[in-house]
Amino acid sequence: MTTSEQDEGYGVLGATSFERSRQRTGVPQRLRPPHITEVHVDATRHFAYGYGDDNPLYSDADYARKTRWGSLIAPPNFLYCMGESASGDPTPEQRALLKGDPFAGLGSYQAAMEFEYYRPLREGDRCRMIRAQVGVQEKASKFGGRTAHVTNDFLFANGDGEVVAIQRGTWINAERHATKTSTTKDPVTFEPYTDDQLAEIDAAYDAEVRRGALTRYFEDVEVGEEIQPRVKGPITVTDIVVWHAGWGMQLTPPGAFGISRRVRRKAPGLYPKNGRNIPDTVQRLHWEPERARELGIPMSYDYGAMRETWLTHALTDWMGDDGWLFRLRCEHRKFNYLGDTTWVRGKVVDKVQVDGRNEVHLELSCTNQRGETTTPGTAVVLLPTRQGPVELPAPPADDLEALLALEIERHA
């Protein structure tokens, strides 16, 4: 037996875990039933309201029909809610490769997410998806000691087979004991807010302005220009509940009581017992501080996907109905704890014309009330000119299978 094999076990990173993970590259993964199967005004409204966005493009079909899109469209991040399998049933060999989790027992934290959007999902659209791992890397990190960085692609097409978007996500898998050691070195305090601080937050909410139907032209944008900030917080358990109403559960399959029992029979690890010895979802660390502390985290915290929607909200409000969010990339570097307030800011750093596209490049940030940048990001927004509207970008492949092959080659 090798040293690495002796050292490996549940919740421990070793050579065998990395090899098992690498063998999964390009193998389409089985998908849970999506939270939403068809774009509908109620679904898009609930999702957008869950991150604080009342843009009528997503919630008012009559308004949306009068825009350049001609119908209600889904918010960019609505893809999280959709995605029926486009890859069919796995072969026996694929099922064997996908059985179990090579990194079982480790803490898993979303580190970075990247999106490219090629066309909108419209009212009535269904959505098909291929999800597959495209790479895994071993990295050292002071956050969690030895870590495995796993990159998965989520490739989306509409019901007609047209490529809609690419989502590339990287998760850090870290040994729990290393995470506990790291977090205890950097204690966080949670001071009560003063009335003046809360008044400042409320004033920012009251000052929010959406560009909407007032077209923002490429010619009028200046490098160095800042977008109007957005504030999100102080985040509460109620905000997490409202977020789940639109987003779904994602990790733990939806359903209560007998339905969750049937899931728990198959995957008991998704339901660790609470302090009263009752099995409950692993996701409760996002609203149950006691569970977070058990895992070495000082307080419950948000989901990375929430911050992605906050960045999107700031961008879509700034660009207006006639703009198009082409690319968004962000890295989640710090936890955003319950009670934290996040200020979302952006700045134009470049504007270029490429292949007929009028691109505005922006730097973005999510910064908490302690002055810490929790999520830096970048974006590319396409804007119309006075000579013509935005032309949607062409996807790099015409179907999801060809797109997956390109993505594996790109990552390698």
In three-state form (DSSP H/G/I as H, E/B as E, the rest C), the secondary structure along 181-210 is: HHHHCCCCCCCCCCHHHHHHHHHHHHCCCC
Stretches where the chain sits below pLDDT 70 are 1-10, 141-145, 176-186
Kind plus residue range of the DSSP H or E element containing 59: helix 56-59
Beta strand residue intervals within 241-372, DSSP E: 324-331, 342-354, 357-368
pLDDT of residue 405: 94
pLDDT of residue 9: 62
Calculate the CA 289 to chain-centre distance. Answer: 22
pLDDT of residue 187: 74
pLDDT of residue 177: 59
pLDDT of residue 139: 85
pLDDT of residue 179: 52
pLDDT of residue 10: 65
pLDDT of residue 175: 80
pLDDT of residue 178: 53
pLDDT of residue 142: 64
Kind plus residue range of the DSSP H or E element containing 230: strand 230-232
Closest residue by Cα to residue 113 from 375, 386, 383: 375
